[in-house]
Structure 1
Protein backbone atom coordinates (compact mmCIF):
# COMPACT_ATOMS: atom_id res chain seq x y z
CA UNK A 1 0.00 0.00 0.00
CA UNK A 2 2.83 2.39 0.89
CA UNK A 3 4.55 1.56 -2.40
CA UNK A 4 1.30 2.21 -4.28
CA UNK A 5 0.80 5.59 -2.60
CA UNK A 6 4.43 6.49 -3.27
CA UNK A 7 4.08 5.61 -6.95
CA UNK A 8 0.84 7.57 -7.23
CA UNK A 9 2.45 10.58 -5.57
CA UNK A 10 5.35 10.48 -8.03
CA UNK A 11 2.94 10.24 -10.94
CA UNK A 12 0.91 13.24 -9.73
CA UNK A 13 4.07 15.26 -9.18
CA UNK A 14 5.27 14.40 -12.68
CA UNK A 15 1.93 15.37 -14.21
CA UNK A 16 1.93 18.58 -12.20
CA UNK A 17 5.42 19.43 -13.40
CA UNK A 18 4.37 18.75 -17.00
CA UNK A 19 1.29 20.97 -16.65
CA UNK A 20 3.29 23.77 -15.08
CA UNK A 21 5.87 23.43 -17.82
CA UNK A 22 3.15 23.74 -20.46
CA UNK A 23 1.74 26.81 -18.72
CA UNK A 24 5.21 28.31 -18.52
CA UNK A 25 5.72 27.71 -22.25
CA UNK A 26 2.44 29.46 -23.06
CA UNK A 27 3.28 32.26 -20.67
CA UNK A 28 6.62 32.75 -22.45
CA UNK A 29 4.90 33.05 -25.84
CA UNK A 30 1.88 35.22 -25.06
CA UNK A 31 3.56 38.11 -23.25
CA UNK A 32 6.10 38.47 -26.08
CA UNK A 33 3.29 38.84 -28.60
CA UNK A 34 1.27 41.10 -26.30
CA UNK A 35 4.28 43.25 -25.51
CA UNK A 36 5.02 43.66 -29.21
CA UNK A 37 1.48 44.85 -29.89
CA UNK A 38 1.59 47.24 -26.93
CA UNK A 39 4.95 48.55 -28.10
CA UNK A 40 3.62 49.31 -31.58
CA UNK A 41 0.47 50.98 -30.25
CA UNK A 42 2.62 53.17 -27.99
CA UNK A 43 5.10 53.93 -30.80
CA UNK A 44 6.00 57.51 -31.66
CA UNK A 45 5.40 56.77 -35.36
CA UNK A 46 1.67 57.15 -34.69
CA UNK A 47 0.14 60.58 -35.09
CA UNK A 48 -1.04 62.31 -31.92
CA UNK A 49 -4.57 62.60 -33.33
CA UNK A 50 -4.73 58.88 -34.04
CA UNK A 51 -3.34 57.89 -30.66
CA UNK A 52 -5.92 60.11 -28.94
CA UNK A 53 -8.68 57.94 -30.40
CA UNK A 54 -7.40 54.80 -28.67
CA UNK A 55 -9.79 55.65 -25.83
CA UNK A 56 -12.70 54.92 -28.18
CA UNK A 57 -11.21 52.34 -30.54
CA UNK A 58 -9.34 50.17 -28.01
CA UNK A 59 -6.87 48.76 -30.55
CA UNK A 60 -4.99 46.51 -28.13
CA UNK A 61 -8.12 44.90 -26.71
CA UNK A 62 -9.80 44.65 -30.12
CA UNK A 63 -6.89 43.04 -31.96
CA UNK A 64 -6.23 40.71 -29.03
CA UNK A 65 -9.90 39.65 -29.10
CA UNK A 66 -9.52 38.80 -32.78
CA UNK A 67 -6.48 36.66 -31.92
CA UNK A 68 -3.86 38.49 -33.96
CA UNK A 69 -0.28 37.19 -33.94
CA UNK A 70 2.82 38.78 -35.51
CA UNK A 71 3.40 35.94 -37.98
CA UNK A 72 -0.10 36.00 -39.48
CA UNK A 73 -1.26 36.95 -42.94
CA UNK A 74 -3.81 39.70 -42.32
CA UNK A 75 -6.14 41.54 -44.69
CA UNK A 76 -7.40 44.97 -43.68
CA UNK A 77 -10.55 45.97 -45.55
CA UNK A 78 -10.99 49.63 -46.54
CA UNK A 79 -8.09 51.00 -44.49
CA UNK A 80 -9.31 54.58 -44.90
CA UNK A 81 -6.54 57.02 -43.97
CA UNK A 82 -4.59 54.25 -42.28
CA UNK A 83 -5.59 54.49 -38.62
CA UNK A 84 -5.26 50.74 -38.05
CA UNK A 85 -2.59 50.36 -40.72
CA UNK A 86 -0.36 52.45 -38.46
CA UNK A 87 -0.55 49.56 -35.99
CA UNK A 88 -0.89 46.53 -38.24
CA UNK A 89 1.96 47.25 -40.67
CA UNK A 90 4.80 47.58 -38.14
CA UNK A 91 3.36 44.77 -36.01
CA UNK A 92 3.36 42.33 -38.95
CA UNK A 93 6.46 43.69 -40.69
CA UNK A 94 9.04 41.20 -39.41
CA UNK A 95 7.20 37.88 -39.59
CA UNK A 96 3.75 38.43 -41.09
CA UNK A 97 2.04 39.85 -44.17
CA UNK A 98 -0.47 42.69 -44.46
CA UNK A 99 -2.83 43.22 -47.37
CA UNK A 100 -4.61 46.58 -47.55
CA UNK A 101 -7.78 46.01 -49.58
CA UNK A 102 -8.93 49.44 -50.73
CA UNK A 103 -12.24 50.45 -52.31
CA UNK A 104 -12.19 51.22 -56.02
CA UNK A 105 -11.44 54.86 -56.83
CA UNK A 106 -14.48 57.02 -57.55
CA UNK A 107 -13.63 60.58 -58.68
CA UNK A 108 -17.27 61.62 -58.13
CA UNK A 109 -17.05 60.72 -54.43
CA UNK A 110 -14.75 63.44 -53.12
CA UNK A 111 -14.51 62.23 -49.51
CA UNK A 112 -13.46 58.77 -50.68
CA UNK A 113 -10.91 60.21 -53.07
CA UNK A 114 -9.40 62.35 -50.31
CA UNK A 115 -9.14 59.28 -48.10
CA UNK A 116 -7.47 57.23 -50.84
CA UNK A 117 -5.02 60.04 -51.57
CA UNK A 118 -4.17 60.42 -47.88
CA UNK A 119 -3.55 56.69 -47.51
CA UNK A 120 -1.36 56.65 -50.59
CA UNK A 121 0.71 59.53 -49.25
CA UNK A 122 0.98 57.95 -45.80
CA UNK A 123 2.53 54.80 -47.24
CA UNK A 124 4.89 56.75 -49.49
CA UNK A 125 6.09 58.97 -46.64
CA UNK A 126 7.25 56.08 -44.44
CA UNK A 127 8.50 53.15 -46.55
CA UNK A 128 10.40 51.81 -43.55
CA UNK A 129 7.02 51.14 -41.91
CA UNK A 130 4.72 50.53 -44.86
CA UNK A 131 6.97 49.36 -47.68
CA UNK A 132 5.86 45.75 -47.32
CA UNK A 133 2.11 46.45 -47.34
CA UNK A 134 0.47 44.66 -50.27
CA UNK A 135 -2.28 46.82 -51.78
CA UNK A 136 -5.33 45.30 -53.45
CA UNK A 137 -8.84 46.43 -54.36
CA UNK A 138 -12.21 45.24 -53.12
CA UNK A 139 -14.05 44.51 -56.36
CA UNK A 140 -16.80 42.10 -57.31
CA UNK A 141 -14.55 40.09 -59.62
CA UNK A 142 -11.14 40.48 -57.95
CA UNK A 143 -9.36 38.95 -54.98
CA UNK A 144 -8.49 40.97 -51.88
CA UNK A 145 -5.73 38.40 -51.26
CA UNK A 146 -4.88 34.99 -52.71
CA UNK A 147 -7.66 32.51 -52.02
CA UNK A 148 -7.42 30.79 -48.63
CA UNK A 149 -4.20 32.61 -47.74
CA UNK A 150 -5.27 34.81 -44.83
CA UNK A 151 -5.30 33.91 -41.16
CA UNK A 152 -7.28 37.02 -40.25
CA UNK A 153 -9.42 39.54 -42.10
CA UNK A 154 -10.33 42.72 -40.24
CA UNK A 155 -12.92 45.31 -41.19
CA UNK A 156 -13.48 48.38 -39.05
CA UNK A 157 -16.71 50.39 -39.47
CA UNK A 158 -17.12 49.46 -43.13
CA UNK A 159 -20.33 47.43 -43.32
CA UNK A 160 -22.45 50.56 -43.84
CA UNK A 161 -20.18 51.49 -46.76
CA UNK A 162 -20.73 48.06 -48.32
CA UNK A 163 -24.48 48.57 -47.94
CA UNK A 164 -24.38 52.09 -49.34
CA UNK A 165 -22.68 50.74 -52.47
CA UNK A 166 -24.88 47.65 -52.64
CA UNK A 167 -21.81 45.40 -52.38
CA UNK A 168 -22.37 43.83 -48.97
CA UNK A 169 -22.87 40.29 -50.30
CA UNK A 170 -19.87 40.52 -52.63
CA UNK A 171 -17.70 42.02 -49.89
CA UNK A 172 -18.47 39.31 -47.35
CA UNK A 173 -17.95 36.67 -50.06
CA UNK A 174 -14.53 38.16 -50.87
CA UNK A 175 -13.53 38.08 -47.21
CA UNK A 176 -14.67 34.48 -46.90
CA UNK A 177 -12.73 33.49 -50.03
CA UNK A 178 -9.49 35.08 -48.79
CA UNK A 179 -9.48 33.26 -45.45
CA UNK A 180 -7.96 29.88 -44.79
CA UNK A 181 -10.36 27.29 -43.37
CA UNK A 182 -10.37 28.07 -39.67
CA UNK A 183 -9.40 31.69 -40.38
CA UNK A 184 -11.03 34.55 -38.50
CA UNK A 185 -13.05 37.55 -39.62
CA UNK A 186 -12.87 40.36 -37.05
CA UNK A 187 -15.52 43.02 -37.53
CA UNK A 188 -16.29 46.34 -35.83
CA UNK A 189 -19.32 48.38 -36.89
CA UNK A 190 -21.47 51.28 -35.68
CA UNK A 191 -24.33 49.45 -33.94
CA UNK A 192 -27.90 50.41 -34.73
CA UNK A 193 -30.97 50.42 -32.51
CA UNK A 194 -32.54 46.94 -32.72
CA UNK A 195 -36.00 48.52 -32.32
CA UNK A 196 -35.51 50.53 -35.52
CA UNK A 197 -35.99 48.77 -38.86
CA UNK A 198 -32.72 48.47 -40.74
CA UNK A 199 -32.24 50.87 -43.63
CA UNK A 200 -30.85 48.61 -46.40
CA UNK A 201 -28.54 51.45 -47.47
CA UNK A 202 -27.49 52.28 -43.88
CA UNK A 203 -27.80 55.97 -44.70
CA UNK A 204 -27.03 57.07 -41.14
CA UNK A 205 -24.07 54.75 -40.74
CA UNK A 206 -25.66 52.44 -38.18
CA UNK A 207 -26.31 48.75 -38.82
CA UNK A 208 -28.21 46.43 -36.51
CA UNK A 209 -26.08 43.67 -35.03
CA UNK A 210 -28.44 40.88 -36.09
CA UNK A 211 -28.32 42.23 -39.65
CA UNK A 212 -24.52 42.08 -39.74
CA UNK A 213 -24.49 38.58 -38.30
CA UNK A 214 -26.97 37.47 -40.96
CA UNK A 215 -24.79 38.94 -43.73
CA UNK A 216 -21.78 37.03 -42.43
CA UNK A 217 -23.66 33.77 -41.98
CA UNK A 218 -25.10 34.02 -45.48
CA UNK A 219 -21.51 34.19 -46.76
CA UNK A 220 -20.64 30.99 -44.89
CA UNK A 221 -19.18 32.34 -41.65
CA UNK A 222 -19.92 31.06 -38.18
CA UNK A 223 -20.18 33.49 -35.27
CA UNK A 224 -17.63 32.59 -32.59
CA UNK A 225 -17.91 35.37 -30.04
CA UNK A 226 -19.12 38.91 -29.47
CA UNK A 227 -17.53 41.59 -27.32
CA UNK A 228 -18.56 44.90 -25.78
CA UNK A 229 -15.01 46.29 -25.99
CA UNK A 230 -16.18 49.13 -28.24
CA UNK A 231 -19.65 49.69 -26.79
CA UNK A 232 -20.89 53.17 -25.87
CA UNK A 233 -24.22 53.22 -23.99
CA UNK A 234 -24.33 57.04 -24.26
CA UNK A 235 -24.90 56.85 -28.02
CA UNK A 236 -28.64 57.40 -28.65
CA UNK A 237 -28.30 56.74 -32.41
CA UNK A 238 -31.05 59.19 -33.35
CA UNK A 239 -29.15 62.11 -34.85
CA UNK A 240 -30.22 64.03 -37.94
CA UNK A 241 -26.77 63.62 -39.49
CA UNK A 242 -26.40 60.02 -38.38
CA UNK A 243 -23.28 58.64 -36.79
CA UNK A 244 -21.26 61.48 -38.32
CA UNK A 245 -22.91 63.87 -35.85
CA UNK A 246 -20.59 62.42 -33.21
CA UNK A 247 -16.82 62.85 -32.95
CA UNK A 248 -14.56 62.84 -34.77
CA UNK A 249 -16.72 64.03 -37.70
CA UNK A 250 -18.92 66.58 -35.89
CA UNK A 251 -21.05 66.94 -39.01
CA UNK A 252 -23.08 69.76 -37.37
CA UNK A 253 -19.98 71.87 -36.83
CA UNK A 254 -20.22 73.97 -33.68
CA UNK A 255 -23.91 73.23 -33.12
CA UNK A 256 -24.19 71.34 -29.79
CA UNK A 257 -20.56 70.34 -30.18
CA UNK A 258 -19.95 70.00 -26.44
CA UNK A 259 -22.99 67.75 -26.11
CA UNK A 260 -21.78 65.40 -28.83
CA UNK A 261 -18.21 65.48 -27.58
CA UNK A 262 -19.51 64.36 -24.17
CA UNK A 263 -21.28 61.40 -25.80
CA UNK A 264 -18.07 60.33 -27.50
CA UNK A 265 -17.65 58.13 -30.55
CA UNK A 266 -20.36 55.71 -31.62
CA UNK A 267 -21.59 52.55 -29.95
CA UNK A 268 -19.93 49.67 -31.83
CA UNK A 269 -20.38 45.95 -32.08
CA UNK A 270 -17.23 43.82 -32.07
CA UNK A 271 -17.75 40.42 -33.67
CA UNK A 272 -15.51 37.43 -34.25
CA UNK A 273 -16.42 34.97 -37.01
CA UNK A 274 -14.65 31.90 -38.31
CA UNK A 275 -14.54 30.27 -41.74
CA UNK A 276 -15.44 26.66 -40.95
CA UNK A 277 -12.92 23.98 -41.80
CA UNK A 278 -14.28 21.37 -44.24
Structure 2
Protein backbone atom coordinates (compact mmCIF):
# COMPACT_ATOMS: atom_id res chain seq x y z
CA UNK A 1 0.00 0.00 0.00
CA UNK A 2 1.27 3.47 -0.87
CA UNK A 3 1.29 5.69 2.25
CA UNK A 4 -0.94 8.77 2.16
CA UNK A 5 2.10 11.03 2.60
CA UNK A 6 3.46 9.77 -0.73
CA UNK A 7 0.70 11.68 -2.46
CA UNK A 8 1.59 15.00 -0.86
CA UNK A 9 3.21 17.75 -2.97
CA UNK A 10 6.11 17.93 -0.47
CA UNK A 11 6.84 14.21 -0.81
CA UNK A 12 6.56 14.35 -4.59
CA UNK A 13 8.84 17.39 -4.67
CA UNK A 14 11.51 15.67 -2.59
CA UNK A 15 11.25 12.52 -4.67
CA UNK A 16 11.58 14.55 -7.88
CA UNK A 17 14.64 16.36 -6.50
CA UNK A 18 16.25 13.06 -5.52
CA UNK A 19 15.66 11.64 -9.01
CA UNK A 20 17.13 14.79 -10.57
CA UNK A 21 20.23 14.59 -8.38
CA UNK A 22 20.73 10.90 -9.13
CA UNK A 23 20.44 11.59 -12.86
CA UNK A 24 22.96 14.43 -12.62
CA UNK A 25 25.50 12.26 -10.83
CA UNK A 26 25.01 9.48 -13.40
CA UNK A 27 25.19 11.86 -16.38
CA UNK A 28 27.50 10.80 -19.21
CA UNK A 29 28.69 14.38 -19.71
CA UNK A 30 30.73 14.22 -16.50
CA UNK A 31 34.44 13.54 -17.10
CA UNK A 32 36.02 10.37 -15.73
CA UNK A 33 38.21 12.34 -13.33
CA UNK A 34 35.08 13.79 -11.69
CA UNK A 35 33.37 10.42 -11.41
CA UNK A 36 36.50 8.98 -9.80
CA UNK A 37 36.10 11.50 -6.95
CA UNK A 38 32.48 10.67 -6.19
CA UNK A 39 33.19 7.95 -3.61
CA UNK A 40 35.05 10.47 -1.44
CA UNK A 41 33.08 13.63 -2.23
CA UNK A 42 29.61 12.05 -1.92
CA UNK A 43 27.86 14.53 -4.23
CA UNK A 44 24.37 13.01 -4.12
CA UNK A 45 24.18 13.30 -0.34
CA UNK A 46 25.59 16.84 -0.36
CA UNK A 47 23.24 18.15 -3.03
CA UNK A 48 20.25 16.60 -1.27
CA UNK A 49 21.33 18.23 2.00
CA UNK A 50 21.59 21.58 0.20
CA UNK A 51 18.06 21.19 -1.14
CA UNK A 52 19.14 21.60 -4.76
CA UNK A 53 16.38 21.12 -7.31
CA UNK A 54 15.31 22.03 -10.82
CA UNK A 55 14.82 25.70 -11.62
CA UNK A 56 17.14 27.06 -8.95
CA UNK A 57 19.61 29.91 -9.43
CA UNK A 58 22.94 28.91 -7.92
CA UNK A 59 26.34 30.51 -7.33
CA UNK A 60 29.35 28.20 -7.14
CA UNK A 61 32.02 30.26 -5.36
CA UNK A 62 35.63 29.42 -6.23
CA UNK A 63 34.56 26.46 -8.38
CA UNK A 64 38.03 25.10 -9.17
CA UNK A 65 37.81 22.75 -12.13
CA UNK A 66 34.02 22.73 -12.01
CA UNK A 67 33.30 19.44 -10.25
CA UNK A 68 30.16 20.82 -8.60
CA UNK A 69 29.45 23.31 -11.40
CA UNK A 70 28.57 20.48 -13.80
CA UNK A 71 26.38 18.78 -11.21
CA UNK A 72 24.53 22.00 -10.40
CA UNK A 73 23.95 22.63 -14.11
CA UNK A 74 22.47 19.18 -14.66
CA UNK A 75 20.18 19.40 -11.65
CA UNK A 76 18.78 22.92 -12.15
CA UNK A 77 18.24 22.37 -15.87
CA UNK A 78 17.15 24.95 -18.41
CA UNK A 79 14.77 26.59 -15.95
CA UNK A 80 17.64 27.45 -13.63
CA UNK A 81 21.10 28.94 -13.91
CA UNK A 82 24.57 28.47 -12.41
CA UNK A 83 27.08 31.27 -11.96
CA UNK A 84 30.63 30.04 -11.41
CA UNK A 85 32.26 32.92 -9.53
CA UNK A 86 36.05 33.17 -9.56
CA UNK A 87 37.53 35.87 -7.29
CA UNK A 88 39.52 38.66 -8.92
CA UNK A 89 42.43 38.16 -6.51
CA UNK A 90 42.75 34.52 -7.57
CA UNK A 91 42.84 35.40 -11.28
CA UNK A 92 45.43 38.08 -10.55
CA UNK A 93 47.53 35.44 -8.82
CA UNK A 94 46.76 32.59 -11.26
CA UNK A 95 45.63 33.94 -14.66
CA UNK A 96 44.34 30.51 -15.72
CA UNK A 97 42.12 30.14 -12.63
CA UNK A 98 38.88 30.55 -14.61
CA UNK A 99 39.92 28.54 -17.67
CA UNK A 100 38.34 25.24 -16.58
CA UNK A 101 34.91 26.70 -15.83
CA UNK A 102 35.05 28.89 -18.94
CA UNK A 103 35.54 25.69 -20.94
CA UNK A 104 32.49 24.16 -19.26
CA UNK A 105 30.34 27.23 -19.95
CA UNK A 106 31.36 27.10 -23.62
CA UNK A 107 29.86 23.62 -24.06
CA UNK A 108 26.26 23.54 -25.38
CA UNK A 109 25.26 20.93 -22.81
CA UNK A 110 26.12 23.45 -20.08
CA UNK A 111 24.39 26.44 -21.65
CA UNK A 112 22.92 27.39 -18.25
CA UNK A 113 26.40 28.11 -16.82
CA UNK A 114 27.98 31.57 -16.76
CA UNK A 115 31.41 32.51 -15.42
CA UNK A 116 31.98 35.72 -13.48
CA UNK A 117 35.30 37.09 -12.23
CA UNK A 118 34.42 39.37 -9.32
CA UNK A 119 35.57 40.59 -5.92
CA UNK A 120 34.03 38.30 -3.32
CA UNK A 121 32.90 41.27 -1.26
CA UNK A 122 30.84 42.59 -4.18
CA UNK A 123 29.09 39.61 -5.75
CA UNK A 124 26.75 40.73 -8.54
CA UNK A 125 24.47 38.33 -10.42
CA UNK A 126 21.49 39.13 -12.69
CA UNK A 127 18.98 37.29 -10.48
CA UNK A 128 18.46 36.71 -6.79
CA UNK A 129 20.07 33.41 -5.85
CA UNK A 130 18.39 30.40 -4.26
CA UNK A 131 21.66 28.79 -3.22
CA UNK A 132 25.26 29.88 -2.72
CA UNK A 133 27.86 27.16 -2.36
CA UNK A 134 31.54 27.12 -1.51
CA UNK A 135 33.50 23.92 -1.01
CA UNK A 136 36.95 23.73 0.62
CA UNK A 137 37.55 27.44 0.13
CA UNK A 138 36.35 29.35 3.17
CA UNK A 139 39.69 28.87 4.96
CA UNK A 140 41.45 30.59 2.02
CA UNK A 141 39.20 33.63 2.28
CA UNK A 142 39.54 33.81 6.06
CA UNK A 143 43.28 33.34 6.31
CA UNK A 144 44.26 35.29 3.19
CA UNK A 145 42.26 38.39 4.06
CA UNK A 146 41.47 37.94 7.73
CA UNK A 147 38.15 37.94 9.59
CA UNK A 148 37.06 41.24 8.02
CA UNK A 149 37.46 39.84 4.49
CA UNK A 150 35.50 36.72 5.41
CA UNK A 151 32.73 38.81 6.96
CA UNK A 152 32.60 41.05 3.88
CA UNK A 153 32.26 37.93 1.72
CA UNK A 154 29.47 36.57 3.92
CA UNK A 155 27.60 39.87 3.74
CA UNK A 156 27.96 39.88 -0.04
CA UNK A 157 26.50 36.37 -0.19
CA UNK A 158 23.66 37.49 2.09
CA UNK A 159 22.82 40.38 -0.24
CA UNK A 160 22.89 38.16 -3.35
CA UNK A 161 20.51 35.55 -1.93
CA UNK A 162 16.74 35.79 -2.03
CA UNK A 163 14.98 35.80 1.34
CA UNK A 164 14.93 32.20 2.51
CA UNK A 165 17.92 31.26 0.32
CA UNK A 166 20.59 28.87 1.55
CA UNK A 167 24.35 29.19 1.97
CA UNK A 168 26.39 25.97 2.08
CA UNK A 169 29.95 26.00 3.42
CA UNK A 170 32.14 22.90 3.24
CA UNK A 171 35.68 22.91 4.56
CA UNK A 172 38.50 20.89 6.09
CA UNK A 173 38.32 20.80 9.89
CA UNK A 174 40.97 22.28 12.19
CA UNK A 175 41.07 21.64 15.92
CA UNK A 176 39.61 24.40 18.11
CA UNK A 177 42.35 26.81 19.13
CA UNK A 178 44.86 24.96 16.98
CA UNK A 179 48.38 26.25 17.32
CA UNK A 180 50.94 26.69 14.58
CA UNK A 181 50.20 28.05 11.14
CA UNK A 182 46.70 26.68 10.56
CA UNK A 183 46.55 28.51 7.25
CA UNK A 184 49.28 26.24 5.87
CA UNK A 185 47.23 23.22 6.86
CA UNK A 186 44.37 24.59 4.69
CA UNK A 187 41.94 23.93 7.54
CA UNK A 188 39.61 26.00 9.71
CA UNK A 189 37.79 25.53 12.99
CA UNK A 190 34.06 25.11 12.16
CA UNK A 191 33.20 27.41 15.07
CA UNK A 192 34.96 30.24 13.25
CA UNK A 193 32.84 29.67 10.15
CA UNK A 194 29.62 29.68 12.18
CA UNK A 195 30.59 32.82 14.05
CA UNK A 196 31.52 34.68 10.87
CA UNK A 197 28.50 33.67 8.80
CA UNK A 198 26.00 34.30 11.57
CA UNK A 199 27.53 37.74 12.14
CA UNK A 200 26.53 38.55 8.54
CA UNK A 201 22.86 37.94 9.39
CA UNK A 202 22.42 34.26 8.53
CA UNK A 203 20.65 31.73 10.71
CA UNK A 204 22.44 28.43 11.22
CA UNK A 205 20.13 25.67 10.03
CA UNK A 206 21.90 22.31 10.17
CA UNK A 207 25.09 20.33 9.77
CA UNK A 208 25.72 17.17 7.76
CA UNK A 209 28.24 14.56 8.90
CA UNK A 210 28.45 12.93 5.47
CA UNK A 211 32.10 14.00 5.02
CA UNK A 212 33.17 13.46 8.63
CA UNK A 213 36.26 11.34 9.26
CA UNK A 214 37.00 10.66 12.95
CA UNK A 215 40.37 9.17 12.02
CA UNK A 216 41.66 12.54 10.81
CA UNK A 217 43.66 14.11 13.65
CA UNK A 218 43.52 17.55 11.96
CA UNK A 219 47.27 18.11 12.29
CA UNK A 220 48.34 17.26 8.74
CA UNK A 221 48.09 19.57 5.72
CA UNK A 222 45.15 18.52 3.57
CA UNK A 223 47.50 17.79 0.65
CA UNK A 224 49.56 15.30 2.65
CA UNK A 225 49.29 11.89 0.91
CA UNK A 226 48.37 10.28 4.22
CA UNK A 227 45.08 12.20 4.40
CA UNK A 228 44.43 13.79 1.01
CA UNK A 229 40.93 13.06 -0.22
CA UNK A 230 39.91 11.71 3.19
CA UNK A 231 40.03 14.75 5.45
CA UNK A 232 37.46 15.36 8.13
CA UNK A 233 35.19 17.98 6.57
CA UNK A 234 32.41 20.08 8.04
CA UNK A 235 29.25 20.71 5.99
CA UNK A 236 27.22 23.65 7.25
CA UNK A 237 23.88 24.98 6.01
CA UNK A 238 22.87 28.57 6.73
CA UNK A 239 19.64 30.31 5.80
CA UNK A 240 18.90 33.95 4.98
CA UNK A 241 15.82 34.86 7.02
CA UNK A 242 12.64 34.87 4.96
CA UNK A 243 11.77 38.27 6.41
Are residues 131 and 203 of structure 1, via their aligned partners in 2, closer, same or farther at CA, if it must alter by over 3 Å?
Answer: same
* Residue number among 128, 132, 135 corresponding to 1:153 in the alignment: 132
Structure 2 unmatched runs, 5+: none
Q: TM-score, normalised by structure 2?
A: 0.88
- SS of equivalent residue, structure 2 residue 242: coil
Are residues 115 and 276 of structure 1, via their aligned partners in 2, closer, same or farther at CA, if it must alter by over 3 Å?
Answer: same
Give 1:116's aligned residue. Answer: 98
Are residues 209 and 275 of structure 1, via their aligned partners in 2, closer, same or farther at CA, if it must alter by over 3 Å?
Answer: same
CA contact (8 A) 2:105 2:115 kept: no
Q: Distance in 1 between matches of 2:5 and 2:188?
A: 46
- State yes or no: 1:132 paired with 2:116: no
Give 1:190's aligned residue. Answer: 172
Q: How far 1:197 sits from its partner (Å)?
A: 4.6
Give 1:3's aligned residue. Answer: none
Give 1:273's aligned residue. Answer: 238
Q: TM-score, normalised by structure 1?
A: 0.77
Q: Distance in 1 between matches of 2:136 and 2:51?
A: 19
- State yes or no: 1:29 paired with 2:13: yes
CA contact (8 A) 2:86 2:97 kept: no
- SS of equivalent residue, structure 1 residue 244: coil
Give 2:25's aligned residue. Answer: 41
Give 1:174's aligned residue. Answer: 156
Are residues 65 and 141 of structure 1, via their aligned partners in 2, closer, same or farther at CA, if it must alter by over 3 Å?
Answer: closer
Rg (Cα) greater in structure: 1
RMSD across aligned positions (CA): 2.5
- SS of equivalent residue, structure 1 residue 102: strand
